[in-house]
Amino acid sequence: MLASPSDLHLGNFLLRLPSTVDNLSDQQIYEKFGPPRPEPVVREDGQLLSPGVPGNVYWPMWMAKASDELRLSESKILLADFGTAFYPDLKLRFGSSTPLGKCPPEARFEPTTPLSFSADIWTLAHAIWAVMGLRTIFGSFLISEDNVTQEQVDTFGRLPDEWWSKWNARSRWFMEDGCHKNDGCPEKLEGRFKSSI
């Protein structure tokens, strides 16, 4: 039986630390990566901290290295954060926890239809694109569902009829036949590939 991760994205991809780190003492770790850096916790209103609130927080330790310094033998990928993983054969899942720009369109346009492995293929393709390319295929961090759908139509063409009719904002960018209004110049898949990969 296969499990569906349901929200695969680059935030789930980690580089496994070398096993030699396990043998380092605290002091050796501090010497190699730097000591903990405390940051005082201060309330915005200047009042005393509530009981149970720590006086300091600590920045995460920076253990990264430049990609051109990373050897292939050190490049062991670990997939993490399967908190929303499920077995489609045993449990139905209707929503997606994937970040908006990478979310499969069926999660938006078919909210009453259970997600399937095709949603995983969609998010895996986004992860591969982001690893291989200079940017994500759709949008940025400050986007709306409609902006993402507009970019999907720009890239792949008009949505299937059922989804097209459900997309109320389509007339902002497109005519009913899927052509751009105002002679827009959409960046098709080939153009995005050339500029990103």
Q: What is the pLDDT of residues 166-186, one digit of tens each?
A: 999 999 999 998 888 877 677
Same domain, 65 and 89: no
Q: Are 134 and 39 contained in the same domain? A: no
**For residue 86, what pLDDT is reported?**
60
- Measure CA of the first residue to CA of the last residue in the chain; give whole Å: 34
Q: Considering the domain boundaries, does residue 4 fall inside one?
A: no
Compare 5 and 45 and report the one with higher pLDDT. Answer: 45
99 & 177 share domain: yes
Separation of alpha carbons 81 and 64, rounded Å: 20
Q: Tell me what percent of the residues of the chain surpass a pLDDT of 90.
A: 35
Same domain, 42 and 139: no
What whole-number distance in Å separates Cα of residue 105 and Cα of residue 159? 9
Both 94 and 125 in a single domain? yes
Q: What is the pLDDT of residue 83?
A: 63
Average pLDDT for 122-139: 82
- End position of a domain, from candidates 50, 75, 100: 75
Range from 48-52, 75-79, 133-137 that averages highest in pLDDT: 48-52
Report residue 80 CA to chain centroid gap: 13
User: Same domain for 120 and 48?
Assistant: no
8 in a domain, yes or no? Answer: no
pLDDT for residue 1: 41
**How far apart are alpha carbons 157 and 159 in whole angstroms?**
6
How far is CA 137 from its chain centroid?
11
One domain, residues 56 and 129: no
Q: Are residues 104 and 183 in the same domain?
A: yes
Domain termination residue (choose one: 28, 46, 75): 75
**89 and 71 in a common domain:** no
Considering the domain architecture, whether residues 125 and 101 belong to the same structural domain is answered as: yes
**Does residue 3 lie within any of the structural domains?**
no
178 phi-psi bin (left φ>0, alpha ψ -120 to 50, beta other): left
Lowest pLDDT segment from 31-35, 90-94, 114-118, 149-153: 90-94
Range of the domain at 24: 17-75
In 3-state terms the chain splits into helix, strand, coil percentages (rounded to 5) of: 40, 10, 50
User: Quick one: pLDDT band at residue 84, thresholds 50, 70, 90?
Assistant: low
Q: Which of 75, 106, 141 finishes a domain?
A: 75
- What domain count does the chain have? 2
Tell me the Cα Rg of the chain: 22
Q: What is the mean pLDDT of the chain?
A: 83
Whether 4 has a pLDDT exceeding 60, the answer reads no
Q: How much is the pLDDT for 5?
A: 52
Give the H or E element holding residue 79: strand 77-79
What is the distance between the alpha carbons of residues 87 and 104, in angstroms, rounded to a whole number? Answer: 18
Mark whether 56 and 104 lie in a shared domain. no
Tell me, yes or no, whether 7 lies in a domain. no
Q: Which residue pairs, CB below 8 angstroms and at least 24 apart, start in 70-73?
A: 70/15
pLDDT at 111 over 50: yes
Q: How far apart are CA 26 and CA 20, in angstroms?
A: 13
